[in-house]
């Protein structure tokens, strides 16, 4: 038992959920800047005066990253995952030349990450794109985005190639189905019927697959030492009963996600999606070379987020959330106030299934507990007693350790939201994941003060022990 010597312990955030400074440094508005209540809400028509948009200030990482990364160093992290805001580099996506100030920001950020003893793991597009691209082209539904993304990738790979070894193309690409605006910049609310909606979704996915393959190719040609991973959301899904219909419905739900990783890891459209598209009347517009490109440029590793599990009952509608698909509650599991069921063994199962399916290295790019934390005053000091978070991590770490003991190659574990950030799902601040509390509420009030929670010292020690929880 135990974790490999070079295991990458760390934390993960996304630019739009922590940076703020939405109009500074030459940045253009991004799709997240017009959302008030997270990825399931509809964007407002442009930025409306007087309305509150959580991404505009977020937790001000843009100005406070040095302070925050110092805390990450104290946690003994080896890796820090963040994303590049596309609209910091190309404010509308259309410019011929990149915005130097945006590039400089990430130059400094990546330097700081290194100087704090961590490797950056960089998502090229984490639930965002320049707003202009969504409005003009309906996001990834249009093929026009492929060369624009290629240009953006070439810029960041050229500029940061020496500083960044680990790359991811799109965050949770399989959420194009359930949160199409955030994941692909498409407005399915503008589709006139279900068939049109499905057409948009699959077309966007196809264009993103081509863009992903081009990014992989570019990375391999330009940076032979670097790795380009893909990133999906994989929650655990179980049949609600042993009824064969429930088992089959579960399989179909899993295939909705496997579709994405099959294309990017195996390099071909799986048979089950071809059939599904045919039945839904989807006709993909593609170019001759697309399939060859996809076949020849598969990702180097598979990263994924895992928060919880759910159960599937045939005939009962499922919904999609940031934590993955949601069906019926499992009576054997505890549930958070946000309805997420805590299931460490589910993580072990997902790791085994993914390794079995692809046989390539896995990276846990997100895992964590969103909870309502309370600040209490003790001997004149602000304290946050978050034992529930310690318990959650402890149990998930043990599950990962067991999977590693089974022979699965896990590259690392990035805890989601190591300091409190804006929730992607709802736009709230009060759904907190951090080891560091940030004083800000759902309406945007607060001093932005950073306060260590009890879990901070525990996590720092766990990482220092390379995950040896027995010695804690």
As annotated, the active-site residues are 172, 366
- Using the rule CB under 6 A, is 431 a contact of ligand BGP? yes
**Stretch of residues binding ligand BGP (CB under 6 A), selected from 72-80, 144-152, 190-198, 419-427:** 419-427
**Stretch of residues binding ligand BGP (CB under 6 A), selected from 3-11, 239-247, 398-406, 420-428:** 420-428
Which residue, 82 or 240, is less far from ligand BGP as judged by CB?
82
* Dihedral sign computed on CA atoms, order 9, 15, 19, 24: positive
Dihedral pair phi/psi, residue 180, rounded to 5°? -60, -30
Report the distance separating Cα 164 and Cα 166, nearest Å: 6
Which residue, 86 or 416, is less far from ligand BGP as judged by CB?
416
- Using the rule CB under 6 A, is 423 a contact of ligand BGP? yes
**Stretch of residues binding ligand BGP (CB under 6 A), selected from 99-107, 207-215, 283-291, 418-426:** 418-426
Of 3, 7, 11, 14, which lies in the binding site for ligand BGP, with binding defined by CB under 6 A? 14
Min dist. Cβ of residue 440 to ligand BGP (A): 15
Applying the rule CB under 6 A, the residues between 117 and 156 that interact with ligand BGP are: 127
Report the distance separating Cα 298 and Cα 220, nearest Å: 11
DSSP letter assigned to residue 341: B
Applying the rule CB under 6 A, the residues between 174 and 233 that interact with ligand BGP are: 233
Report the distance separating Cα 365 and Cα 49, nearest Å: 36
Strand partners for 125: 170
- Using the rule CB under 6 A, is 367 a contact of ligand BGP? no
Which residue, 8 or 182, is less far from ligand BGP as judged by CB?
182
Which residue, 230 or 291, is less far from ligand BGP as judged by CB?
230
Structure tokens at 235: 């929650």
Of 99, 134, 155, 171, which lies in the binding site for ligand BGP, with binding defined by CB under 6 A? 171
∠ CA 385-390-394 to the nearest 5 degrees?
Answer: 170
Cβ-based neighbours of 430, under 8 Å, separated by 6 or more? 372, 441, 442
Of 128, 172, 401, 420, which lies in the binding site for ligand BGP, with binding defined by CB under 6 A? 172
Count CA atoms within 13 Å of residue 115 on its CB side: 11
Helix (H) or strand (E) holding 452: strand 450-452
**Stretch of residues binding ligand BGP (CB under 6 A), selected from 214-222, 256-264, 286-294, 421-429:** 421-429
Question: How far, in Å, are 62, 294, 322, 333 from residue 288 at the CA level?
Answer: 42, 11, 34, 48
- Using the rule CB under 6 A, is 322 a contact of ligand BGP? yes
Whose structure tokens read 């919904």?
319
Report the distance separating Cα 58 and Cα 386, nearest Å: 22
Which residue, 232 or 460, is less far from ligand BGP as judged by CB?
232
Min dist. Cβ of residue 89 to ligand BGP (A): 20
Of 54, 370, 418, 467, which lies in the binding site for ligand BGP, with binding defined by CB under 6 A? 370
Applying the rule CB under 6 A, the residues between 33 and 92 that interact with ligand BGP are: none
Strand partners for 416: 12
Beta strands in 294-361 (DSSP E): 301-305, 309-312, 319-321, 324-326
- Using the rule CB under 6 A, is 420 a contact of ligand BGP? no
Which residue, 80 or 127, is less far from ligand BGP as judged by CB?
127
In the complex, residue closest to ligand BGP by CB: 425
Q: Please say whether the beta carbons of 426 and 21 come within 8 A.
A: no
Min dist. Cβ of residue 206 to ligand BGP (A): 22
Of 416, 435, 437, 458, which lies in the binding site for ligand BGP, with binding defined by CB under 6 A? 416
Strand partners for 104: none
- Using the rule CB under 6 A, is 310 a contact of ligand BGP? no
- Using the rule CB under 6 A, is 424 a contact of ligand BGP? yes
Whose structure tokens read 């909705």?
256
Report the distance separating Cα 162 and Cα 152, nearest Å: 17
Helices 194-222 and 145-160: crossing angle in degrees, nearest 10, is 30
Which residue, 11 or 267, is less far from ligand BGP as judged by CB?
11
Which of 299, 287, 161, 278 shows the shortest CA–CA distance to 217? 299
Which of 226, 229, 371, 385 shows the shortest CA–CA distance to 308? 371
Which residue, 122 or 404, is less far from ligand BGP as judged by CB?
122
- Using the rule CB under 6 A, is 257 a contact of ligand BGP? no
- Using the rule CB under 6 A, is 309 a contact of ligand BGP? no
Binding site for ligand BGP (CB under 6 A): 14, 17, 127, 171-172, 233, 305, 322, 366, 370, 416, 423-425, 431
């Amino acid at each position: 038992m135990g974790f490999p010597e070079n295991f990458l312990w760390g934390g993960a955030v996304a630019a739009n959920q922590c940076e703020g400074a939405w109009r500074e440094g030459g940045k253009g508005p991004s799709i997240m800047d017009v959302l008030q209540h997270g990825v399931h809400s509809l964007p407002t028509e442009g930025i409306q005066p007087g309305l509150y948009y959580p991404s505009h200030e977020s937790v001000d990482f843009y100005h406070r990253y040095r302070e925050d990364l110092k805390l990450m160093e104290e946690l003994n992290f080896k890796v820090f995952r963040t994303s590049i805001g596309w609209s910091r580099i190309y404010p509308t996506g259309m410019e011929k030349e990149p915005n130097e100030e945006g590039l400089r920001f990430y130059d400094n950020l990546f330097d700081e990450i290194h100087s704090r003893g961590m490797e950056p793991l960089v998502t090229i597009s984490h639930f965002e794109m320049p707003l202009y691209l969504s409005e003009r082209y309906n996001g990834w539904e249009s093929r026009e985005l492929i060369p624009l993304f290629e240009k953006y990738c070439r810029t960041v790979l050229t500029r940061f190639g020496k500083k960044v070894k680990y790359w991811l193309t799109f965050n949770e690409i399989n959420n194009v189905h359930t949160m199409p605006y955030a994941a692909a910049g498409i407005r399915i609310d503008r589709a006139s019927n279900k068939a049109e909606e499905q057409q948009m979704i699959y077309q966007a996915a196809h264009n993103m697959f081509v863009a992903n393959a081009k990014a992989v190719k570019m990375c391999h040609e330009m940076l032979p030492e670097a790795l380009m991973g893909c990133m999906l959301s994989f929650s655990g899904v179980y049949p609600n009963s042993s009824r064969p219909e429930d088992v089959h419905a579960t399989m179909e739900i899993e295939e909705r996600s496997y579709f994405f990783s099959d294309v990017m890891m195996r390099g071909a459209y799986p048979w089950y999606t071809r059939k599904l598209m045919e039945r839904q009347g989807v006709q993909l517009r593609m170019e001759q070379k697309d399939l060859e490109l996809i076949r020849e440029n598969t990702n180097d590793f598979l990263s994924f987020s895992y928060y919880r599990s759910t159960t599937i009952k045939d005939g009962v509608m499922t919904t999609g959330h940031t934590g993955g698909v949601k069906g019926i509650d499992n009576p054997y599991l505890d549930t958070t106030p946000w309805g997420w069921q805590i299931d460490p063994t589910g993580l072990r199962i997902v790791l085994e299934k993914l390794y079995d399916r692809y046989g390539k290295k896995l990276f846990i790019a997100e895992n964590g507990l969103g909870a309502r934390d309370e600040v209490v005053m003790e001997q004149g000091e602000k304290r946050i007693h978050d034992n529930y978070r310690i318990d959650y991590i402890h149990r998930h770490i043990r599950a990962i350790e067991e999977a590693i003991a089974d022979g699965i190659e896990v590259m690392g574990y990035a805890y989601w939201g190591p300091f409190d950030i804006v929730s992607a799902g709802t736009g709230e601040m009060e759904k907190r994941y951090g080891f560091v509390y940030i004083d800000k509420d759902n309406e945007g009030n607060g001093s932005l003060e950073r306060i260590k929670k009890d879990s901070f010292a525990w996590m720092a020690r766990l990482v220092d022990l390379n995950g040896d929880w027995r010695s804690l």
